[in-house]
């Protein structure tokens, strides 16, 4: 599935009467939702859409796993401009834990950790425009990081 197809699906979803959509094709998974949560004080749009990058196969010998952007957009380290970042270098993360948000076409896409481990590097800055498949974060995997 290419970027234009994904953007087309998102645009069609925005104009439809659907409130949620889940699409899974091979190793690609896209979850869209128009359900809004109550906004917090001083909060910008709460994340309402989730796009989860799925790594098809991670070699057993791998120790560093890159978390790549599944789409072109703007990287945000936290849910609100004044909020705490989702992760920091050296922090232990669990598989499925939100590590950042990519905003594309005014839709907030939560990016989840594909593996459990320790955040080794954050390769982009808050507010930076990122490209498709660009490495955002590197997670060091190993024993005792929990799932």
**31 domain residue, yes or no:** yes
CATH number at 51 reads 2.40.50.100
Domain, as residue range, for 9: 3-140
**15 domain residue, yes or no:** yes
**147 domain residue, yes or no:** no
**67 domain residue, yes or no:** yes
Alpha-helix residue ranges (DSSP H) falling in the chain: 3-15
pTM metric for this prediction: 0.57
**Inter-residue contact 114 to 95 (CB < 8 Å):** yes
Give the model confidence (pLDDT) of 88-143 as tens digits. 999 999 999 999 999 998 899 999 999 999 999 999 999 999 999 999 999 998 75
Q: Report d(CA 68, CA 114) in Å as an integer.
A: 10
**9 domain residue, yes or no:** yes
**50 domain residue, yes or no:** yes
In total, how many domains does the chain have?
1
Q: Report d(CA 60, CA 71) in Å as an integer.
A: 27
């Amino acid at each position: 599935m290419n970027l234009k197809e994904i953007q087309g699906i998102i645009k069609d979803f925005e104009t439809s009467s659907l409130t949620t959509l889940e699409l899974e094709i091979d190793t690609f998974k896209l979850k869209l939702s128009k359900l809004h949560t109550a906004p917090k004080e001083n909060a910008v749009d709460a994340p309402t859409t989730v796009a989860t990058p799925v790594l098809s196969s991670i070699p057993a010998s791998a120790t560093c796993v890159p978390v790549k952007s599944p789409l072109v957009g703007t990287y945000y380290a936290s849910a609100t401009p004044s909020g705490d970042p989702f992760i920091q270098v050296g922090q232990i993360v669990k598989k499925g834990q939100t590590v950042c948000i990519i905003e594309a076409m005014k839709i907030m896409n939560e990016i989840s950790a594909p593996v459990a481990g320790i955040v080794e590097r954050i390769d982009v800055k808050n507010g930076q425009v990122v490209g498709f498949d660009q490495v955002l974060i590197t997670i060091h995997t190993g024993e005792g990081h929990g799932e």
